């Protein structure tokens, strides 16, 4: 509770600060007075974040990151002298109806000049609205759907850009890493079997299909395949019974739900098998880390957002402002806002939306997370190599440690805490 | 094979226990008032959050927290009746209006929880950790507690309805409200504490659900749907039928998860449900009208 109080107070302070600077500029504009941003119309940025839904942890972190960026931009004189004014709206669980009403409110009632979202609706329900209203929009999730929607006709989505690369890399990075570990003798799997757990959710299905294809091409066998209708699982015994009767080397869950993934871990640890446990995305959620604690030591996952070192200036700044570490969305949303700022500056006029959208398409920005260069065919940033890294993580002491690519690795692969005990059982 | 069947049955009993508690209050209210109380899901959520508040702020005392849940949900049941249900009773289209009003109450509860506690998952610390292993079958202590607690409340409710004077009044009003009024039973009063008892049972179900899963503002939605399903299966208004129905559903659900797969468990239950409605529309223990 105390953490919540601190973060709320900090949020109010930062949001208040950002709004105050913008308000002074705005008032000065209307009254024709001097002062910061005097005579300049404020640039209104809509922040659409799931602040109270199932994954509110990342929503709150995302909002705070955008507010932090806006605070810095305003302190440095705004965008081309225009103060930036944040307008925050809660998208709860990112449902299509909620997303569309929030976006309409931001555009029609609040008159925003650009929108930042940690992610929109998986059906891309907001796309037609922002495109029709010509509002530059930067999102950071549901990249597989975004890619599928934009690729056939990128010009039809000229105002919509992403800050995370293609999810296709989820299907290849982890198998590639496992293969390297095996060749180097750093990981000796008990067999080449995989228990694959997915759910009826586009993100989960997309990643599961990618991993299944790559692993089977490498000669691995999907020995247990469990596809669930929803994220709400009260009991994993039936799946774990199959795992325990024929232990696989890898257990891969693409459930992407912190509660279900934690319950899977908890019930797995009651009688573990010598298997690596891969849980997609959940280890990034603050809720998961709080609930699992050190039980999660050794869990692996891949995430299309790079972690930054403990002493990275941004991380230090975020901690100073909010009293906690940022989740990946607490970092990438800062870059999203900075991308918007740079595009508005490159356009020469933050209110010339067409020019801002074109500037986003041509952006080359070295941000906290990596280098953002937009692929014109997909409107996603280029991934891997010199661009946005796609690291393999392993959790230790409630911290996600980067293992691969080796250029960004913080430590070497270690067997999870349950492994040796399960092996000798 | 044997251990899988035994494990599935144990999980079925755990699920059945939770389903029974979630459904029994709903069926009791239907039996007496002939209304579908859609605020029931909200009360399941409230039960879980009340116990979390009790444990977080009252030093982790389960007994006090549990009593707090029972007391608060029972009292809020009276508030629900006085503030939402009673004003609409006896008016035109009252059934539809009560359905909408109770659904709205559930949404309000959900949103108040979001405002008060945020949307992040919360977890109730385990009542007991560890497990009991019998041969190849393992039962964790949490599951054992659920299997033990639920029947206490269910048997207690049955005892209340069968043996205690006010419980008999509930049954009398359920059977014939006019006849009960002739013999001096205050039906308004019976309605009031029937809703309160239903709310209490929902609160207890929320606690057990929260103990094995996680708390979220919308957590009462799924159990409500399951409870409606069980209520129809057991026979609308039949407390005994609902309890049997819950355990039957729990065991079939668990067996399907073990032997066919988790994806197919719900479709199998729904196919069974449709077949039952075709063959026995009044449910397992309902009376044909």
Render pLDDT for B46-69 as a digit per residue (tens, 0 to 9): 999 999 999 988 777 888 899 999
* Radius of gyration from C-alpha coordinates of chain B: 19
Judged by a CB distance cut-off of 8 A, whether residue B7 touches chain A is yes
Q: Is B28 helix (H, G, I), strand (E, B) or coil?
A: helix
Q: Which of B119, B138, B218 shows the shortest C-beta gap to A56? A: B119
Query: Cα–Cα distance between B67 and B197 in angstroms, integer?
Result: 14
- Residue B66 belongs to some domain of the structure: yes
Residue A351 and residue A134 in contact, taking contact as beta carbons nearer than 8 Å: no
Query: Which distant-in-sequence residues (6+ apart) come within 8 Å of A264 by Cβ?
Result: A197, A233, A236, A239, A240, A253, A255, A279
- Residue B285 belongs to some domain of the structure: no
Query: Which distant-in-sequence residues (6+ apart) come within 8 Å of B87 by Cβ?
Result: none
- Residue B103 belongs to some domain of the structure: yes
Residue A46 has pLDDT above 90, yes or no: yes
Angle between helices B62-80 and B187-212 (to 10 degrees): 140
pLDDT values of chain B reduced to their tens digit, one per residue, 289 residues = 777 788 889 889 998 999 999 999 999 999 888 889 999 999 999 999 999 999 988 777 888 899 999 999 999 999 999 999 999 988 888 889 999 999 999 999 988 998 888 777 888 887 777 777 776 677 788 888 888 999 999 999 999 998 899 889 988 988 888 888 888 888 889 999 899 999 999 999 999 988 888 888 888 988 898 899 899 888 888 888 999 999 999 999 899 988 888 888 888 888 988 898 899 888 888 765 5
Residue contact B212–A226, C-beta within 8 A? no
Chain B residues within an 8 Å CB radius of A228: 262-263
List the CATH number of the domain containing B265.
1.10.3470
C-alpha of B76 from chain center: 16
> What pLDDT does A83 receive?
97
Enumerate domains of chain A plus CATH numbers. 2-165+308-373 (3.40.50.2300), 168-303+391-424 (3.40.50.2300)
- Residue B199 belongs to some domain of the structure: yes
Q: How far is A244 from chain B (nearest CA, A)?
A: 11
Q: How far is B281 from chain A (nearest CA, A)?
A: 28
Residue A28 has pLDDT above 50, yes or no: no
Taking CB atoms within 8 Å and a gap of at least 24, the contacts of B270-275 are: B273/B229, B273/B232, B273/B233
> What pLDDT does A194 receive?
98
Closest chain B CA to residue A240: B258
- Alpha-carbon distances, residue A168 vs A116, A148, A160, A212, A227 (angstroms): 23, 11, 20, 12, 20
Chain A residues within an 8 Å CB radius of B214: 259, 262-263, 291
Judged by a CB distance cut-off of 8 A, whether residue B266 touches chain A is yes
- Residue B148 belongs to some domain of the structure: yes
Residue contact B209–A234, C-beta within 8 A? yes
Judged by a CB distance cut-off of 8 A, whether residue B258 touches chain A is yes
- Residue B10 belongs to some domain of the structure: yes
Instruction: Please provide the size of chain B in residues.
Output: 289
- Residue B157 belongs to some domain of the structure: yes
Sheet strands side by side (includes A399-404): A221-228, A193-199, A250-253, A276-279, A300-302, A392-396, A399-404
- Residue B287 belongs to some domain of the structure: no
Give ipTM to 2 decimals. 0.81
Count of domains forming chain B: 1
> Which domain covers residue B123, as residue numbers?
2-279
> What pLDDT does A8 receive?
52
Mean pLDDT of chain A: 88
Dihedral over alpha carbons A175, A176, A182, A184 (to 10 degrees): -170
Measured from the Cβ of residue A290, the count of other Cβ atoms closer than 10 Å reads 17
Measured from the Cβ of residue A168, the count of other Cβ atoms closer than 10 Å reads 18
Nearest to B50 by CA among B80, B20, B75: B75
Judged by a CB distance cut-off of 8 A, whether residue B36 touches chain A is no
């Amino acid at each position: 509770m105390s953490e919540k109080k601190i973060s709320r107070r900090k949020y109010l302070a930062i949001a208040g600060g950002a709004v105050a600077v913008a308000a002074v500029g705005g008032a000065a504009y209307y009254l024709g007075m001097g002062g910061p941003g005097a005579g300049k119309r404020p640039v209104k940025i809509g922040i659409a974040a799931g602040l109270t839904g199932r994954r509110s942890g990342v929503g709150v972190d995302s909002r705070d990151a955008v507010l932090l960026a806006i605070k810095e931009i305003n302190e440095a004189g705004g965008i081309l002298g225009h103060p930036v004014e944040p307008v925050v709206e809660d998208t709860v669980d990112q449902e299509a109806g909620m997303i569309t009403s929030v976006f309409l409110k931001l555009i029609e009632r609040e008159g925003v000049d650009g929108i930042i979202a940690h992610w929109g609706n998986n059906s891309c329900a907001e796309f037609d609205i922002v495109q029709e209203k010509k509002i530059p929009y930067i999102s950071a999730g549901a990249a597989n759907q975004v890619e599928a929607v934009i690729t056939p006709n990128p010009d039809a989505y000229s105002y919509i850009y992403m800050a995370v690369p293609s999810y296709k890399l989820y299907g290849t990075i982890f198998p590639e890493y496992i293969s390297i570990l095996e060749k180097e003798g750093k990981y000796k799997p008990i067999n080449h079997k995989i228990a694959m757990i997915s759910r009826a959710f586009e993100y989960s299905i997309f990643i599961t299909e990618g991993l299944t294809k790559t692993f089977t091409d490498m000669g691995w066998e999907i020995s247990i395949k469990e596809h669930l209708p929803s994220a709400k699982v009260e009991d994993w015994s039936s799946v774990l019974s199959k795992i325990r009767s024929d232990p696989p080397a890898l257990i891969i869950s693409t459930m992407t739900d912190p509660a279900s993934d934690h319950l899977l871990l908890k019930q797995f640890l009651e009688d573990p098998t010598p298997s690596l446990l891969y849980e997609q995305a959940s280890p990034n959620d603050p809720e998961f880390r709080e609930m699992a604690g050190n039980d999660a030591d050794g869990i692996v996952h891949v995430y299309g957002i790079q972690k930054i070192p403990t002493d990275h200036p941004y991380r230090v700044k975020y901690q100073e402002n909010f009293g906690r570490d940022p989740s990946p969305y607490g970092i990438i949303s800062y870059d999203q806002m900075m991308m918007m700022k740079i595009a508005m500056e490159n356009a020469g006029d933050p209110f010339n939306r067409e020019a801002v959208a074109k500037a986003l398409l041509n952006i080359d920005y070295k941000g906290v997370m990596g280098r953002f260069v937009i692929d014109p065919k997909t409107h996603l940033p280029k991934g891997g190599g010199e661009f946005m890294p796609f690291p393999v993580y392993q959790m230790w002491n409630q911290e996600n440690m980067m293992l691969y690519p080796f250029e960004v690795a913080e430590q070497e692969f270690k067997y999870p805490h349950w492994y040796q005990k399960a092996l000798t059982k | 094979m044997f251990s899988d069947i035994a494990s599935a049955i144990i999980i079925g009993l755990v699920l059945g226990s939770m389903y029974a508690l979630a459904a029994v209050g709903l069926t009791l209210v239907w039996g007496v008032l002939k209304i579908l109380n859609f605020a029931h899901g909200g009360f399941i959520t409230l039960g879980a959050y009340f116990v979390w508040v009790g444990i977080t702020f009252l030093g982790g005392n389960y007994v006090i927290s549990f009593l707090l849940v029972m007391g608060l949900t029972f009292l809020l049941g009276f508030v629900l009746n006085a503030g939402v249900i009673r004003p609409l009773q006896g008016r035109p289209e009252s059934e539809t209006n009560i359905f909408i009003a109770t659904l709205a109450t559930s949404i309000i509860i959900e949103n108040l929880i979001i405002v008060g506690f945020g949307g992040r998952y919360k977890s109730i610390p385990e009542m007991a950790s560890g497990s009991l292993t019998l041969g190849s079958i393992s039962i964790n202590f949490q599951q054992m507690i659920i299997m033990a607690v639920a029947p206490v409340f269910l048997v207690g409710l049955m005892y209340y309805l069968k043996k205690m004077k006010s419980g008999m009044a509930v049954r009398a009003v359920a059977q014939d409200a006019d006849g009960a009024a002739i013999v001096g039973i205050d039906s308004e009063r019976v309605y009031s504490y029937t809703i309160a008892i239903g709310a209490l049972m929902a609160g207890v179900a929320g606690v057990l659900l929260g103990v094995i899963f996680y708390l979220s503002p919308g957590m009462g939605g799924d159990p409500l749907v399951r409870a409606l399903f069980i209520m129809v299966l057991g026979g609308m208004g039949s407390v005994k039928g609902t309890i049997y129905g819950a355990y039957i559903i729990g065991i079939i659900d668990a067996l399907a998860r073990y032997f066919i797969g988790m994806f197919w468990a719900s479709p199998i239950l729904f196919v069974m449900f449709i077949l039952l409605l075709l063959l026995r529309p009044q449910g397992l223990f309902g009376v044909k009208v």
